[in-house]
Structure 1
């Protein structure tokens, strides 16, 4: 039921998926799947036996228009696949939903394989026809799509080989990851709530209590987290080794030079840009170690326990009901741009945000979308902390990004590479934090600075430390061919310690916290948080200096996959190609830290 309170919003706190299907047993499911299969088969029948689209730009335009229509109207099984992927995130332990999700996954892999010939052949045309296609005016809407295809040819296998990789991906990768996530999501423990009462909560709920200002509450919660992760670390050991082997095989087949090369290609970003980011941030781990040293001092301890690194300091531990969070985020967007506010209102009122923790629900938070024109959906696990308010702002950044792209681009450009995706989210998150901070008294300035620094440290330094952990993890696996949980844990501890420094204890049990870190399974994903945070700082400065600059930001957010990230940033006067740019953002973080150190005395 909607929640009405003294505001312009009528809030729904559960996803309303009725625009996709009427329910799990919707009788139209088979009909929708059959329509999608028919459309894919029509495309195959028309184009598979032809080669003229590889030579004539006019004919290629016709073929790409029809390929784009497939993505626009179906992108697999359309509303059916989208619906059941969302339902699975709501209830990962439901066997009926899992079965339907697996069935749809098999159908969609088969459909993707049927049209594999099109991009496979297109990416391998010779340089002369490539130039002809890229210079043809009517192909301009697809120009960057073609540029990326041509660039990927070096690593693209034959049609039969690509089909085999598609078919085996669920059993060699997806099922392993889902298994551990489902095991962990089912776990419940008796912990202390903020009132000191013993309550039974699911992991997705009680893990947030490790940040409690009440030491007993956070210590009991941390012990419960450690128990859950220790229980499942053996399964996670086998899971991680299996997907590392899967990645190794894929990389060897494709001839990828480095384990992270595939990620960079997928994200449309030069490896040298990511290397420069990692180099710049790693060289300034002194910033994060100084931060934790200051935090330990403010808490009156020599060392923080591993789970205490995110504890809120001072009188910032107020509760934020979801209604209050909506009000704060809504006010922020109204001050930035009226369209942002309109999109937010629709999301809140149309049931596009699933708010509260539940047993079996996916942990953490995300925003997702599928076809051009489909609604975006946000998943939260709201526990009334200030960080939950900024998380809502973060995920809404993704949703706004999706809507702007949908209004401006075709279906083949309807996405964002990771290298730009986290710019929108961190941009919005920081403005939301600034708005929430305005409600605090001047005496709280130091604690607000520490909270903002905590976000920056987590998004920049922790993610780069994780990226370096992944780099060494893949390297070590390829040398040894199997890694024990002890070896994985030792490697994890090494890299976490590198950015935390001596003021944070690598407490017993913390060596297993990689088990719960889902992004480690999305290989080399995490650099995007660091790059997004540092790039968004540049955009925030631009908007704060000139409010009209929000139109430049909106243009950037509307671009989708239509241009490379580097070109998009250069269009705004931002060169991400060297260490210098990243150091500018890091200098801003250090300036905040120096201010906090000065206030703390």
Structure 2
């Protein structure tokens, strides 16, 4: 099935039409803006509001804030981060996009500020039922909105006060190289991304050498990162103050349509279960024959799974697993693979890691991988394809105004699919391989839940410390970072020299308070997996969730399936599964005489 390994952007985008599309985009948005600036009867009359929202939806479907041209050049920039011409073109069209989008600011702002009496009338109107959740959320969050001119100013300054700072550090890191020894024994210049991979080497000399080089890169960039982080913290503090947000993480919760109390309960529950991650690292140190793990060794894989998984073999395995769940899933990923929507292999200048991206409902989903034939790459494919399936299921059921996944549930589909692929990998494995795979699974789950919540706690303390001091030195940031990393890692992981700077490359810290969603996503995913294992017919409920988009709040969506994410006991149930998995792994290690 796997017959295309690069994004075929020319197949999906017609560059010759970009200029024409840009003009049409501007014309249609201007027409809408002029119409409803002159006629604000949509604020008083439900029929007029319905007509206006349908026209807005049409604009969102065809243009949104990301035209084909914006999407095309963003994708190009991820393929070649070192090309200044691509970056310049993307910045140019992004500025145009912001300018166009600003013309529509007034519409939702004016609608948000109608009287409570009129709000109740619109929310109870049967003709407006389709848009009820959109309106409810808008009215609830109206208190955080500014005037039209103020909102436009915030939009216009977002690049210089945030985006350009963050992308600067990312670009500086992507250009770094150091000479280190690799698995073949050859010493040569290796990119920042290659060094990250070598940190997981089973050869201690190789991973220690890579860590020394990696720490040198971070030390080389920490002064710039200090200024960058302080700048974006200042920008956020100003924005939050203007909007009347009391907590630094409140903006994330508002954006994600989730109650702060739900996130607080999740964070507290995971923190109370840090002993799981601490025991895991103790077990890993024993299995690796080390008294303690160095900080950079926390992700080193135990065991010797020598089998390589080519991209083609990986796709076949993932496809088979998805087909056993539901044939629709396989049809969707076949489309990705055959239509040039997956970019598979590493190359210099290409974005590291992996991601799945979509923008407008009518635009294709694209997936980026850095496949190296490892067993972990199979799970990465399942994870990113899970996101892709989520996108395509939403496309079929939701209008453009609900074509979105709240952060709090964004990782449910991906971890759901990934876990079923892991079960396929475990099936039939001998005890040695099984132990290695179970350790991999635990490593991933603890990194997804405990590590991300430790990062969330770090962010909370970071923002509070900045608010109190007005500037944080690299040393102050480093101490806060190490404190929170030590809390979840425990006594069997050293906060080694150099680890105080590892916040420099952790990009999620700049996507303020995003990381809780990894933990919430996996724990909710576990509940949905249990449903399907009990009764395979429950896959229909999973498909219903995958199709829901932002049409309801996450809490209400899951209540339909008997999942109450506001209860501490719900989060404890998922953590108990991980505790049981750790006990199973310890028993197997003892059985094999490894500990």
Structure 1, 322-331 or 243-252: larger mean CA deviation: 322-331
C-alpha distance in 1 between matches for 2:307 and 2:485: 29
C-alpha distance in 1 between matches for 2:85 and 2:356: 24
2:202 alignment partner in structure 1: 213
Moved over 4 A (4+): none
Q: Give the secondary structure class of the aligned counterpart of 1:311.
A: coil
**Structure 1 residue 363 displacement after superposition:** 2.0
Does the Cα contact within 8 Å between 1:36 and 1:76 map onto a contact in 2?
Answer: no
1:4 alignment partner in structure 2: none
2:435 alignment partner in structure 1: 446
Q: Give the secondary structure class of the aligned counterpart of 2:444.
A: helix
1:152 to 111, 132, 141: 141
2:411 to 411, 422, 426: 422
2:593 alignment partner in structure 1: none
1:115 alignment partner in structure 2: 104
**Structure 1 residue 128 displacement after superposition:** 1.2
Q: Give the secondary structure class of the aligned counterpart of 1:585.
A: helix
1:89 alignment partner in structure 2: 78
Deviations 1:246-286 (A, max 9, x none): 00000000000100000000000000000000000000101
**Structure 1 residue 14 displacement after superposition:** 1.4
Does the Cα contact within 8 Å between 2:299 and 2:443 map onto a contact in 1?
Answer: yes
Q: Give the secondary structure class of the aligned counterpart of 1:341.
A: helix
Structure 1, 27-36 or 107-116: larger mean CA deviation: 27-36
1:296 to 274, 285, 297: 285
**Structure 1 residue 315 displacement after superposition:** 2.4
Query: Does 2:44 match 1:52?
Result: no
Structure 1, 27-36 or 494-503: larger mean CA deviation: 27-36
**Structure 1 residue 192 displacement after superposition:** 2.8
1:306 alignment partner in structure 2: 295
**Structure 1 residue 175 displacement after superposition:** 0.3
1:480 to 456, 469, 483: 469
Alignment of 1:257-336 (within 5 A): 257-336=246-325
Does the Cα contact within 8 Å between 1:205 and 1:358 map onto a contact in 2?
Answer: no
**Structure 1 residue 62 displacement after superposition:** 0.3
Query: Does 2:542 match 1:542?
Result: no
Q: Give the secondary structure class of the aligned counterpart of 1:501.
A: helix
**Structure 1 residue 326 displacement after superposition:** 1.4
**Structure 1 residue 206 displacement after superposition:** 3.0
Does the Cα contact within 8 Å between 1:185 and 1:360 map onto a contact in 2?
Answer: yes
Deviations 1:190-219 (A, max 9, x none): 333322223433222331121111222222
**Structure 1 residue 19 displacement after superposition:** 4.0
2:13 to 9, 18, 21: 21
1:367 alignment partner in structure 2: 356
Structure 1, 318-327 or 258-267: larger mean CA deviation: 318-327
Does the Cα contact within 8 Å between 1:424 and 1:536 map onto a contact in 2?
Answer: yes
Structure 1, 444-453 or 241-250: larger mean CA deviation: 444-453
Alignment of 1:330-345 (within 5 A): 330-345=319-334
Does the Cα contact within 8 Å between 2:252 and 2:512 map onto a contact in 1?
Answer: yes
Does the Cα contact within 8 Å between 2:62 and 2:362 map onto a contact in 1?
Answer: no
**Structure 1 residue 439 displacement after superposition:** 5.5
**Structure 1 residue 505 displacement after superposition:** 0.8
C-alpha distance in 2 between matches for 1:356 and 1:483: 39
**Structure 1 residue 434 displacement after superposition:** 1.4
In structure 2, the CA distance between the partners of 1:559 and 1:74, relative to structure 1 (3 Å rule), is: same
Does the Cα contact within 8 Å between 1:213 and 1:317 map onto a contact in 2?
Answer: no
Does the Cα contact within 8 Å between 2:66 and 2:359 map onto a contact in 1?
Answer: no
Where does structure 2 lack aligned partners over 5 or more consecutive residues? 591-595
C-alpha distance in 2 between matches for 1:404 and 1:184: 36
Query: Does 2:566 match 1:577?
Result: yes
Q: Give the secondary structure class of the aligned counterpart of 1:515.
A: coil
2:4 to 2, 12, 15: 12
Does the Cα contact within 8 Å between 2:271 and 2:453 map onto a contact in 1?
Answer: yes
2:337 alignment partner in structure 1: 348
Structure 1, 288-297 or 182-191: larger mean CA deviation: 182-191
Deviations 1:56-107 (A, max 9, x none): 1111000000101111001135211111111111112211111111111111
1:555 to 541, 544, 547: 544
Does the Cα contact within 8 Å between 2:200 and 2:301 map onto a contact in 1?
Answer: yes
In structure 2, the CA distance between the partners of 1:80 and 1:420, relative to structure 1 (3 Å rule), is: same
Deviations 1:280-329 (A, max 9, x none): 00001011000000110111111011111111111225332222221221
Q: Give the secondary structure class of the aligned counterpart of 2:502.
A: helix
1:399 alignment partner in structure 2: 388
Does the Cα contact within 8 Å between 2:66 and 2:360 map onto a contact in 1?
Answer: no
C-alpha distance in 2 between matches for 1:10 and 1:254: 49
Q: Give the secondary structure class of the aligned counterpart of 1:378.
A: strand
1:588 alignment partner in structure 2: 577
Does the Cα contact within 8 Å between 1:77 and 1:104 map onto a contact in 2?
Answer: no
Structure 1, 274-283 or 78-87: larger mean CA deviation: 78-87
C-alpha distance in 1 between matches for 2:65 and 2:578: 43
TM-score by length of 2: 0.97
**Structure 1 residue 40 displacement after superposition:** 0.5
Does the Cα contact within 8 Å between 2:2 and 2:312 map onto a contact in 1?
Answer: no
Does the Cα contact within 8 Å between 2:358 and 2:365 map onto a contact in 1?
Answer: yes
TM-score by length of 1: 0.96
The root-mean-square deviation of aligned C-alpha atoms, in Å, is 1.3
2:492 alignment partner in structure 1: 503
Q: Give the secondary structure class of the aligned counterpart of 2:189.
A: strand
C-alpha distance in 2 between matches for 1:232 and 1:319: 35
Query: Does 2:230 match 1:241?
Result: yes
C-alpha distance in 2 between matches for 1:239 and 1:319: 40
1:252 to 231, 241, 246: 241
**Structure 1 residue 597 displacement after superposition:** 1.9
Structure 1, 79-88 or 247-256: larger mean CA deviation: 79-88
Query: Does 2:118 match 1:126?
Result: no
In structure 2, the CA distance between the partners of 1:295 and 1:335, relative to structure 1 (3 Å rule), is: same
Query: Does 2:591 match 1:599?
Result: no
1:519 to 508, 523, 533: 508
